[in-house]
Structure 1
Amino acid sequence: MSKRVVVTGMGIISPVGNNVETYWKNLLDGVCGIEFITDFDTTPLPVKIAGTIKDFHPEEYGIDKPFARKQDLFTLYGVAAAYQAMKQAGLHSEGEEQNIDPFRLGVYVGSGIGGFTTQVRETQKILEDPSGQWVSPLFIPTMISNIAAGHIAIKHHAQGPTIDVVTACATSTNAIGEAYRAIKHGYADAIIAGGCEHATIPLGIAGFANAKALSRAEDPKYASLPFNANRGGFVMGDGAGILVLEEYEHAKARGAEIIAEMVGYGNTCDAYHSTAPRPDGTTQAKCIELALNEGGFDPEKDCLYINAHGTGTHLNDAAETQAYKLALGDFAYKAHISSTKSMTGHLLGAAGAAEAIATILAVRNGICPPTINLDTPDPELDLDYTPNTPVEADLTIGISDSLGFGGHDACIAFRKCEN
């Protein structure tokens, strides 16, 4: 018998806020977190802007200095977001406050790239000295993409199912979706799920820029332009997003606050191209249909919010719009859609989880965050993308879809939790 799955905790490290309250307020206020990069010299690089993390202090999230010194930032962001989410959830798997069996608590946290900074730093060492004697003994366990999940599990004594999903920009949406299925089918009582990323380093910028994926806009506040006729590519961003998913009866029995109910998950593959989305939108549409059908979507009764993948590349925004039309038919014109990447940039493997949080809060509060800077609509992209200002609506269901390099499509659906 399938079990119900609810959200009992959320945590975020993002370019527009390092806690959920600030993140949500800034999304509604249309605050753009994209800035000129100051962590390194961008003079020789073709792109000089990113969705940067500001005022991140690891000690505020229970991270001690020795641990922080040894870890890549992607791990620190993930651990910090998980700390917030678990604190809100009030789950404890050991000690006097224990309220969950540690073998029933899991971690599904992924990263699209992993320890990129660590990879570059240690590669430089072996290029300078081929003997490799100066390569850190911590190189491998700091760089591998699953290490964030590992450290989150260690810190929260999570001894249940723990995996690292890696599906590029769909990573954290797939992680949340697979965690949902694990709980739904009885393999865990709660799972810490999401993603984390830190890829705004010179090699990351050069790689994405040379792949013709990045915006080369010179004004950081007018660079990430989803669904805009002036769009010219995505803007890289860093951060982490984490949800605590929990089996409904388990959460109810311990008196937890239930933030939302997760009701659907879709997962397909374009099977088309390594970086370009399938242009006809068919595979993306199927993914959305799967999530909506499992979530009991009824076009006669539901008011739908969609947090779009909305990267601001010409190919993505066109294919995604086509997918909505195929999945929803005429109802596509009634859906409330926005891309919060217009404010955060693209958090790559962490994007889906950050956007899942925005989706949950939109449904919970009955308000759609805007797509900022949507001043020149593309006539071929003719749906309601919530331009520039938030819109109140009696939302009943929300979905967040993510489309990753390699053709990975993922979509997750949430509703208010009805007893």
Structure 2
Amino acid sequence: MRILGLILILIIQIQIRAEFVSKVNPDEFSIAQDAKYLIYDVNFGEGFNLRRDVYMRIANTVRLLRESGQNYILVLPPWGRLFHWDRQRIGLPWSTFFDVESLNHFVPVVEFRDFLKATSNSPIQQILYLQHYEEGWGDEYIMKFDERKCIQTPSTSQYRKNSKSEEWDGWFFGFKDVHAESFKCVSIQGDSGTLKNLVLKNFSEASSILIDRAETILHEHYGDVNYWRVRRSMRYSEQLRNAANEFRREYLDPNSDINLENDWRNQKKEKSSRTTKGGEYLGVHWRRRDFVTARGKDLPTIEETAKILTKLADELKVSKVYLATDAIDEEVEKLEKLLVEKRKLEIFRFQNYEDFNDGQIAIIDQWICAHAKFFIGSYESTFSFRIQEDREILGFPIETTFNRLCPNSEKQCEQPAKWKIVYN
């Protein structure tokens, strides 16, 4: 049985390696013989949509490592235990939310479970816990990194060295029997390229590295072609797209489909001429809950929100509003009542909690808002940012995408930065 098990493991390793190599363009990447794995984790308090942004930064680090001749594979950290999820789950694979095949067209990726299988659950060779410099930036922000003594936080205390095995134990996404050989804290200031330099200079011999607190790393070039390449690769799973599309067709506009190439790499600039019209409804992201306390001055009241949406609906000549929100039921009911009184607008929400978890519903909300005739979001919300990016990819006019709910419905307020898509 043991021999059979070893054979199966070898087969998995060969299949994974062959699959990854076949998905990397040899004209773009220098491919080494032996695969190495880069895993990452993010601070517990970071939300679903910020974590999506961190993926983009780390994926570009892996791209840079591969361009340096290192055959790194990005290990996708399982989803779960997120602060804003009311129904907590752990260990959810990326395929629950995204098209993993599409991700593979940017850099080779593998789910954490498959990484454990491919490595026979061997200990992760190196944990790098990223932290800021205790003394701060100084007079200027300089790209640098140094191995330092750990700044003690609840996050660092999760890692403990086992006195018997000499291995390090930790959270590891809730998976049992996962350990690491070595743990180090690194103070770092920089971006995806800085992290690449750290790995190449100090840890190039490690076959598997876990980068914790990966949100410490910034984008190398925010909004450039590689930012948009990795963002375009992050297509939602077919299950979620189908659920959103069916809802749109049934309740909002049966003619609101938008054609995209099956492979994002084939979507060319000339096919995105900003002529997309979207469905005959208004898409709204109305952020409430903790934002009301933290950023109340930047958010409109319920009454002001109703005025804004009524005015927009009149201008757009639509009678349907799709609402993506974290507001409590009482607030939604109050808003709906005001909209009905003012203009008899219908509010629609996707609320199939039986078949979909909180993260899946968030993506369905975003995909429906991304197809609206006009979208308006909330101040500095990463949820709204992701919708704006989706609409850029779908080819909407700028004026129908980069809009926010103002705290005073009678006055203008600063609108979102217009980060336009780049193809080359």
TM-score relative to the length of structure 2: 0.30
Q: Which has the higher contact order (CA 8 A, sep 6+)?
A: 1
> Quick check: which has more Rg, 1 or 2?
2
TM-score (norm 1): 0.30
